Amino acid sequence: MTAAHSLAWRTSTRSSNGEKCVEVAPTSDGVVIRHSKHPEAGTIAFSRSEWEAFIGETCGSLSTPNRAATINQSGTDTVVRSLNNSAVELRFDEDEWSAFTAGAADGEFTFPTERASAGR
């Protein structure tokens, strides 16, 4: 996986100035997410098929587990936990997660293979 600092991170167009958001970056072999306000909390990596399942879960159109992360509610926050690295837990408030899910539903985080390769 590519070093986080060299990736082309992006946020949903629905987020407020790209601050305090779910950040998403395509890689040559999948997609990585992190919290823009807390990048030191780590990243969660998804293969292409795991990412498609994660977006499906996020948008409520798919109930198939993505096998890379769990999505749970904790009060009004959404907590995304890595299944591959138990130390990585990303917590998003209601506005942050809503912006991400709206962008995901609009197809903002669909990365065709050739686009992902160009983003390396």
Are 18 and 107 spatial neighbours (Cβ–Cβ below 8 Å)?
no
- pTM (predicted TM-score): 0.84
Per-residue model confidence as pLDDT tens digits over 21-68: 899 999 999 999 999 999 999 999 999 999 999 999 888 866 668 889
b or e along 62-99 (b: 16 or more beta carbons within 10 Å of the residue's beta carbon)?
eeeebebbeeeeeeeebbbbbeeeeebbbebeeebbeb
